[in-house]
Amino acid sequence: MARRALGPDRIEGMTYIGWPVPEPQIPAETDPVLAHATRAAVRAFADARKAHDRAALAEKVQMGADGTPTMRLDILVDTAVAESVTENKVNLLSEELGSIDNGSSVTLVVDPVDGTANAAAGVPLSAFAGVVAVDGVAKEALTCWLDTGRCWHAIAGQPTPYRTSGREKLDGAAVSVLRPHGFDENAWLAVARRAARVRILSSSCIEAALVAEGSTDAFADTGSDTHRIMDLAAAMVMLPAAGGAVLDVHGRPLEIDPDLSKRWSGVAAATRELAEELAETIANAIQK
């Protein structure tokens, strides 16, 4: 049976995601190695959705370098990224494949599919996020929303064309959060009760980009220590460049580290004041 060019589809009892995957709108000034890896990731993502139904995309096929099970979709995209960095002779630090040393001073820190659960199910909120790090210092970031091709680009120390909202207070803020995990329910509710708007989009990199462009005020892991460095690396470049801040709820330094067992509870906010108020609110509520 022919596939429809557009729209969700169902073939022989298997449910494919039929929506198109547009070309990423990568800004011309993007580092060519980062741009190459991004295009490779988007192509692999589009191919994976053509070749596999929802169940096959979400199937956990191996254990990732970060110690969590890896979905087929992640593997397919991460493999394409690894081929790209090897072709370009730079190193890779990635969620699933871990650290690949190609003998360069440059490392791409990559979340090939941020929001994998969204992407595999068909919820159109997932992103490629990549950072260029030189000798361990993040220099440049690119987040591309896979479902629309929208990209946010930033270079460390240079202002971005987009700016955060500038909000400094939690009361009345628009805050994106991870879902509550049971043990952090108190902290989750402490934030939700004070925020004017609460969202759970399930894509940390898109949520951080929305903070950077001023569409929401903050994004927080309310103390569940879910974030790995590739969930936060793009925000660590993008937020300061757009007027905001990124920090950890418990004050641990955010570092690009090949040890992928490390976790953080990241807070990305429109201002340092709001980031600190969120971190304090969460840390206090967790202690209770």
Q: List binding-site positions for Mg(2+).
A: 95, 111, 114, 231
CB contact at 8 A, 112 and 78: yes
**Taking the complex as a whole, how short is the minimal distance between the CB of residue 146 and its own copies, in angstroms?**
12
Residues 270, 275, 277, CA angle at the centre, nearest 5°? 125
**Residue 177 to residue 198: CA distance in whole angstroms:** 7
Which residues sit opposite 141 in a β-bridge? 131, 154
- The site for its own copies, by CB under 8 A, has a size of 43
Stretch that binds its own copies, among 72-80, 101-109, 145-153, 228-236 (CB under 8 A): 145-153
Q: Which of 46, 61, 100, 121: binder of its own copies (CB under 8 A)?
A: 121
Token couple for 215:
């569409």
Distances (CA, A) of 232 to 135, 210, 223, 239: 18, 14, 15, 10
In the complex with its own copies, the residue whose CB is nearer, 13 or 253, is 13
| Per CB under 8 A, 210 contacts its own copies | yes
* Subset of residues 26 to 65 that bind its own copies, contact rule: CB under 8 A: 54
**Residue 101 to residue 89: CA distance in whole angstroms:** 9
Q: Which of 108, 187, 201, 254: binder of its own copies (CB under 8 A)?
A: 201
CB neighbours (10 Å) of residue 25? Answer: 12
Stretch that binds its own copies, among 118-126, 224-232, 253-261, 269-277 (CB under 8 A): 118-126
| Per CB under 8 A, 9 contacts its own copies | yes
**Taking the complex as a whole, how short is the minimal distance between the CB of residue 182 and its own copies, in angstroms?**
7
* Subset of residues 247 to 286 that bind its own copies, contact rule: CB under 8 A: none
| Per CB under 8 A, 197 contacts its own copies | yes
What separation, in Å, do the N-terminal and C-terminal C-alpha atoms of the chain show?
58
In the complex with its own copies, the residue whose CB is nearer, 109 or 145, is 145
| Per CB under 8 A, 4 contacts its own copies | yes
Residues near 269 by Cβ (< 8 Å), separated by ≥ 6? Answer: 164, 167, 211, 217, 218, 219, 220, 239, 244, 245, 246, 275, 278
**Residue 52 to residue 14: CA distance in whole angstroms:** 9
**Taking the complex as a whole, how short is the minimal distance between the CB of residue 192 and its own copies, in angstroms?**
6
CB neighbours (10 Å) of residue 276? Answer: 16
> Positive or negative CA dihedral for 53, 199, 178, 274?
positive
Token couple for 269:
């906010």
Stretch that binds its own copies, among 6-14, 38-46, 65-73, 78-86 (CB under 8 A): 6-14
Q: Which of 147, 184, 221, 248: binder of its own copies (CB under 8 A)?
A: 147
**Taking the complex as a whole, how short is the minimal distance between the CB of residue 150 and its own copies, in angstroms?**
7
**Taking the complex as a whole, how short is the minimal distance between the CB of residue 208 and its own copies, in angstroms?**
13
**Taking the complex as a whole, how short is the minimal distance between the CB of residue 67 and its own copies, in angstroms?**
20
Instruction: Tell me which amino acid residue 279 is.
Output: A
* Residues in contact with its own copies by the rule CB under 8 A: 4, 6-10, 15, 17, 19, 25, 54, 117, 121-125, 147-148, 150, 161-163, 165, 174, 179-180, 182, 185, 189, 192-193, 197-202, 210, 213-216
